[in-house]
């Protein structure tokens, strides 16, 4: 839902099992598989762009889907944007990346992910 993003952590509803389940269900619905690598950003924490970039590279090179989950949409967008800034134009053509947050926000993420060659899937926990 566009426009529903919040900067406040949604830690009371954040459960890593629910986040992983939402990612798996979204992937299964679109790609008929539930195998993916998962990067969790714990509630109230900030991820380092370099570790997120390394995660995306690992998924890309292993040809596995990746999922990244956080308690805020803003936190997800910020870390992905910073990771792409560090990537210096590196592309991830064909990488399936599942973005899992408290709500789906394709309008915000498509303009960031698709130009990098990433095939985004959105899930809400």
The pLDDT score that the predictor gives to residue 12 is: 60
Task: Give dist(CA 101, CA 109) in Å, integer.
Answer: 12
The pLDDT score that the predictor gives to residue 42 is: 87
Kindly report, residue by residue over 26-73, the tens digit of the pLDDT.
Answer: 999 999 888 999 999 988 888 999 999 999 999 999 999 999 999 999
Q: What pTM does this model have?
A: 0.86
- CA end-to-end span of the chain: 13
The answer to whether 65 and 96 have CB atoms below 8 angstroms apart is yes
The pLDDT score that the predictor gives to residue 9 is: 45
* In the chain, where the domains are located: 21-124
Band of the pLDDT at 11, cuts 50, 70, 90? low
Task: Give dist(CA 69, CA 38) in Å, integer.
Answer: 8
The answer to whether 109 and 77 have CB atoms below 8 angstroms apart is yes
């Amino acid at each position: 839902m566009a426009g529903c993003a919040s900067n406040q952590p949604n830690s009371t509803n954040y459960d890593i099992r629910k986040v992983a389940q939402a990612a798996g269900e979204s992937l299964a619905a679109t790609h008929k598989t539930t195998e993916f690598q998962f990067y969790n950003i714990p509630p109230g924490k900030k991820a380092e762009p370099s570790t997120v970039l390394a995660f995306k590279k690992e998924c890309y090179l292993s040809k596995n889907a990746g999922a990244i989950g956080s308690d805020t949409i803003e936190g997800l967008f910020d870390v992905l944007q910073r990771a792409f800034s560090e990537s210096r134009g590196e592309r991830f053509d064909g990488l399936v990346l599942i973005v899992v947050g408290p709500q789906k926000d394709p309008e915000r993420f498509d303009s960031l992910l698709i130009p990098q060659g990433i095939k985004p899937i959105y899930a809400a926990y």
